[in-house]
């Protein structure tokens, strides 16, 4: 019997596999490029990610704004109608809109006669006379290689929220393809004035350059001074984080709008803030105007450091208009002080024997006291203590009702570094700093007051 010859079918199968693999590779390895090319065909401004923009010119009914990218870095500047730095965030939004501006559909005029094509282009509002008229609307981009592309906005489409848009490359109109673009892009690109595109950041100094300040606001006057990294306000220990937040808000202040001088009439002063330090000195004033018959208030800022007065968001006034009580230290314990603690002691009539805990580097261990208390409660209380700001500081201190407990906290250098008298008055918990020359008491935040063991049974081990 003759044996079958498997060699020929095997070779044929191998050839089919190789050719099939090559066909698959040829199709799908080029697919991303093909899809990308197809996407560009739907764009009146064929901007791809690898095409770097040099400038953008926005023309809207007789006004023009030109933005030019700096030679180095990613910063942009306005060069028309005036020279100004551009707002980085709004430029990013503009670039995003330009990159994503794509037609929902296109109109192919390639098979129409020259006369018919010209008539339709005029009908779509894209004729030469309309493009050169005072009311023309367009976006022109120039690439690094010098090529220019322009999108011209014509008449609204009779159906749907879109417009006829024509495309021009290096000054020559594409007469064979008309794009239908959603009105969203026109509104978000051309519907903005120069105030929108100009840089809103007001000051060039940083918070680190400020070493002292004077604030006069709705709650009075506060003088802040920094020495060796620590702040005092009106001679009292300051709250470092809150003062840093205030100064950062000042250094990062941004304009909301740039009104003309007539808008600055009839304003009422809200606050003044001056500062000095290694970065120099300066001052600002925030003023307000309330609209008649409305609860809306507009806020303005002026400063010798600025060439013009600006409108600002009302939140800036909130961030800067702080009282002495807010800016002085109103934490009984800071995070840094908490981390350094090694001793925790409770004294008072509620404790027949003083309760003492020591930190062994890993956990709190009870050293004395008849009642065995939960060391986890010590840890939880100290965490709350370093997070809870006092709602108010009252002078003279309210009189206590019932027994007073003494809380002493120490570190490796001093066993009684922090000492507080904690008591109740009028349904609230209060803390007096032992040894303070001021007759005042810090109101204890409610959750911290509930956690304090006025009755040691609440901390007993279960």
Are residues 191 and 100 located together in one domain of the fold? yes
87-96: pLDDT as tens digits: 999 999 999 9
Q: Is residue 211 part of a domain?
A: yes
**328 neighbors 238 (Cβ within 8 angstroms):** yes
Better-scored residue on pLDDT, 433 or 403: 433
Are residues 69 and 193 located together in one domain of the fold? yes
According to the model, what pLDDT value does residue 35 have?
A: 40
According to the model, what pLDDT value does residue 360 have?
A: 92
Of 297, 327, 357, which one is at a domain's C-terminal end?
327
Strand 105-108 and strand 84-85: the pairing is: unpaired
Are residues 84 and 192 located together in one domain of the fold? yes
Question: Is the model's pLDDT at 11 over the cut of 80?
Answer: no
Tell me the C-alpha distance between 253 and 269, whole Å. 18
Are residues 405 and 354 located together in one domain of the fold? yes
Least confident of 38-42, 129-133, 354-358: 38-42
Q: Is residue 36 part of a domain?
A: no
Better-scored residue on pLDDT, 12 or 123: 123
Question: Is the model's pLDDT at 39 over the cut of 60?
Answer: no
Question: Is the model's pLDDT at 407 over the cut of 80?
Answer: yes
According to the model, what pLDDT value does residue 281 have?
A: 94
pLDDT tier at 36 (50, 70, 90 boundaries)?
very low
Q: Phi and psi dihedrals of 111, rounded to 5?
A: -95, 0
Q: What percent of the chain has pLDDT over 90?
A: 69
pLDDT tier at 443 (50, 70, 90 boundaries)?
very high
Strand 137-143 and strand 148-156: the pairing is: antiparallel
CA atoms within 13 A on the CB side of 43: 17
Are residues 59 and 169 located together in one domain of the fold? yes
Are residues 165 and 288 located together in one domain of the fold? no
Of 197, 224, 252, which one is at a domain's C-terminal end?
197
**DSSP secondary structure letters along 223-263:** EEEEETTEEEETTEEB-HHHHHHHHHHHHT-B-SB---GGG
According to the model, what pLDDT value does residue 156 have?
A: 92
Q: Is residue 45 part of a domain?
A: no
206-265: pLDDT as tens digits: 888 899 999 999 999 999 999 988 999 999 999 999 999 999 999 999 999 999 888 888
Tell me the C-alpha distance between 173 and 36, whole Å. 23
According to the model, what pLDDT value does residue 47 have?
A: 80
Average pLDDT value for the chain: 88
Q: What is the mean pLDDT of residues 48-53?
A: 68
Question: Is the model's pLDDT at 279 over the cut of 80?
Answer: no
Strands (E), 360-400: 364-368, 393-394
Tell me the C-alpha distance between 376 and 374, whole Å. 5
Are residues 298 and 415 located together in one domain of the fold? no
Q: Is residue 375 part of a domain?
A: yes
Of 172, 197, 222, which one is at a domain's C-terminal end?
197
Are residues 403 and 354 located together in one domain of the fold? yes
According to the model, what pLDDT value does residue 17 have?
A: 56
Structure tokens at 210: 């400020």
Are residues 148 and 239 located together in one domain of the fold? no
Question: Is the model's pLDDT at 192 over the cut of 60?
Answer: yes
337-369: pLDDT as tens digits: 999 999 999 999 888 789 999 999 999 999 987
Are residues 395 and 277 located together in one domain of the fold? no
Parent domain of 246: 207-327
Which residue matches tokens 């800067």? 320
69-122: pLDDT as tens digits: 998 888 999 999 999 999 999 999 999 999 889 998 899 999 999 999 999 999
Total number of domains constituting the chain: 3
Radius of gyration over alpha carbons of the chain, in Å? Answer: 36
pTM for the model stands at: 0.73
According to the model, what pLDDT value does residue 150 have?
A: 96
Residue 68, SS3 per DSSP: strand
Q: Is residue 47 part of a domain?
A: no
Are residues 178 and 63 located together in one domain of the fold? yes
């Amino acid at each position: 019997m003759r044996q079958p010859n498997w060699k020929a079918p095997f070779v044929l199968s191998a050839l089919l596999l190789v050719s099939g693999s090559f066909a698959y590779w040829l199709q799908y390895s080029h697919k991303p490029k093909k899809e990308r090319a197809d996407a560009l065909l739907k764009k009146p401004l064929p901007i791809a990610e690898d095409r770097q923009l040099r400038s953008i010119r926005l023309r809207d009914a007789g006004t023009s704004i030109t933005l030019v990218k700096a030679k180095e870095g990613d910063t942009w500047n306005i060069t028309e109608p005036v020279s100004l730095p551009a707002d980085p965030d709004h430029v990013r939004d503009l670039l995003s809109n330009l990159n994503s501006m794509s037609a929902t559909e296109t109109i192919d005029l390639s098979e129409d006669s020259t006369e018919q094509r010209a008539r339709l282009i005029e009908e779509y509002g894209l004729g030469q006379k309309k493009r050169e008229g005072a009311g023309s609307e367009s976006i022109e981009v120039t690439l690094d290689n010098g090529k220019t592309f322009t999108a011209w906005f014509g008449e609204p489409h009779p159906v749907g929220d879109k417009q006829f848009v024509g495309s021009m490359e290096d000054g020559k109109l594409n007469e064979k393809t008309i794009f239908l673009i959603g009105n969203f892009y026109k509104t978000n690109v051309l519907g903005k004035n120069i105030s929108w595109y100009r840089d809103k950041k007001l000051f060039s100094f940083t918070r680190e350059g400020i070493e002292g300040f004077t604030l006069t606001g709705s709650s009075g006057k506060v003088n802040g001074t920094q020495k060796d990294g620590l702040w005092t306000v009106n001679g009292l220990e300051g709250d470092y984080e809150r003062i840093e937040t205030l100064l950062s808000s000042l250094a990062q202040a941004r304009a909301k709008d740039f009104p003309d001088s007539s808008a600055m009439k009839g304003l009422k002063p809200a606050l003044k803030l001056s500062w000095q330090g290694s970065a120099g000195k300066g001052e600002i004033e925030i003023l307000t105007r309330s609209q008649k018959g409305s609860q809306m208030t507009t806020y303005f800022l002026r400063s010798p450091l600025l060439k013009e007065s600006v409108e600002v968001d009302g939140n800036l006034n909130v961030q800067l208009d702080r009282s002495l009580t807010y800016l002085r230290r109103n934490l009984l314990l800071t995070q840094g002080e908490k981390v350094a603690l090694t001793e925790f002691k409770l004294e008072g009539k509620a404790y027949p024997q003083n309760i003492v805990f020591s930190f062994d580097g890993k956990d709190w261990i009870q050293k004395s006291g008849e009642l065995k208390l939960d060391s986890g409660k010590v840890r939880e209380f100290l965490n709350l203590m370093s997070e809870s700001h006092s709602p108010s500081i009252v002078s003279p201190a309210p009189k206590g009702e019932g027994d007073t407990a003494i809380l002493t906290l120490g570190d490796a250098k001093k066993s009684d570094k922090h000492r507080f008298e904690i008591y109740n008055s009028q349904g609230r918990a209060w803390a007096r700093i032992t040894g303070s020359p001021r007759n005042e008491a810090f109101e204890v935040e409610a959750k911290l007051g509930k956690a304090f063991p006025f009755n040691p049974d609440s901390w007993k081990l279960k």
